[in-house]
Each structure stands twice: as structure tokens, then as C-alpha cells.
Structure 1
Amino acid sequence: MTYKDYITTVYVIVDEVLKLIGHKHKTNKPKFSDSELITLLVYATTFRKGEIKSTLKEFKENYSDMFPYVPELPAIVKRAKKLKKLVKILIVMIKIYYQTKNH
């Protein structure tokens, strides 16, 4: 599985879970959705030891086709704090998904 495959799968899972729980973003059409933000945070946790700064750089350099707009670090950190509990739950869900998929 490539990183792009992983990112795509995580995004779909996150986006579907957010829809199921009725999660709404503050604006109707954000430049960077909560699904995108959570995907970035899950990726950072899974592959970059939680290092958000290097993950932002990687997303901007390598995944601009998937994420055309990635905010700067302060904006990411501010929004991540608000979504902290949800992110933790989704990280566990995604780990379980991959564990069951690989067995």
C-alpha cells in the first residue's frame, strides 16, 4: 500500500464517520475541511511520530493534488486542539481497521 492509498482510505473513513455523527465545519465550504485536517493528523501520528510540522511540509510538497490548500502550522494547531478527542477516537478506529484488514 502506498502513502497515497493510505491517505485516501483514511480520508474516506474520517469523512464518513464525521457525516454519521453529524459533525459540521464552521463554514459551509472551508478551504481545508475537518476531514482533511484529521487525515493529516492521523498520518502524522502513524508515520511521523506526531510531528505535524514535517507532515505539513510533506503534504504541501507531495500531496498537493489531494490537498490543494494546506494551512500554516498555527492554524492547524488551533483547529487540532478543538478536535483532539475526535482525532484520538478516529486514530483508534483506523488502527483497528488496518489490524483487522491485515489478519
Structure 2
Amino acid sequence: MVPEFPALPFAPDAVWIGSDHPFDLHEAYLNFRSPAGWQVNPKSGPVELFITADSRYKLWVNGQFVARGPGRSYPHCQSVDRLDITGRLQPGQ
């Protein structure tokens, strides 16, 4: 029996970071860098990242290691890590 997982409500203006390459390769290693340039207002709430990967990831924010993942999941129902990075952000890019 396959467990049921709740759907995550991704915002319609969510910014997805990834590759346009159709990955049919094995052992492909990719690095992504994204200068966010967000206007962070402490009163607007936390800045959260929702990260999913079919293999592994390591997240660094402003030169600080934050997390690695993802946790194990079913191939047809990938896990998503929800990370609050509000305290790691700095003014500027």
C-alpha cells in the first residue's frame, strides 16, 4: 500500500531553479547558483525554500552550509524539504 502524502501549495509565482536539459544521463552532477535579490521584510514572515531532488543536494546560503538531502522517498512521490533561511539572508545580493 502506498502512503498518502499531502500536496504542497506552491505559490503561482514560485521561482524554480533547475536545468532545461532533459536528463536521460547517468551520474550527471550539476551546480546551481541563484542570486536572489529578494526584498526581505521581517514583518512579511519567513523566507522558505522548498527543495526536491531525485538524488542528492547540498544547500549553501551566503557561504554557510544549511542542509543536505533529500530524505528517502518513493520514486513516484518525491519528498520535499522545507527550509527556513530567513536568519541566513544578508542585505544585497
Q: TM-score range by the shorter chain?
A: under 0.3
Query: Quick check: which one's strand share is greater?
Result: 2
TM-score (structure 2 length as normaliser): 0.24
Under a length normalisation based on structure 1, what TM-score does the superposition of the two structures give?
Answer: 0.22
Higher Rg of the two aligned structures: 2
Greater per-residue helix proportion: 1
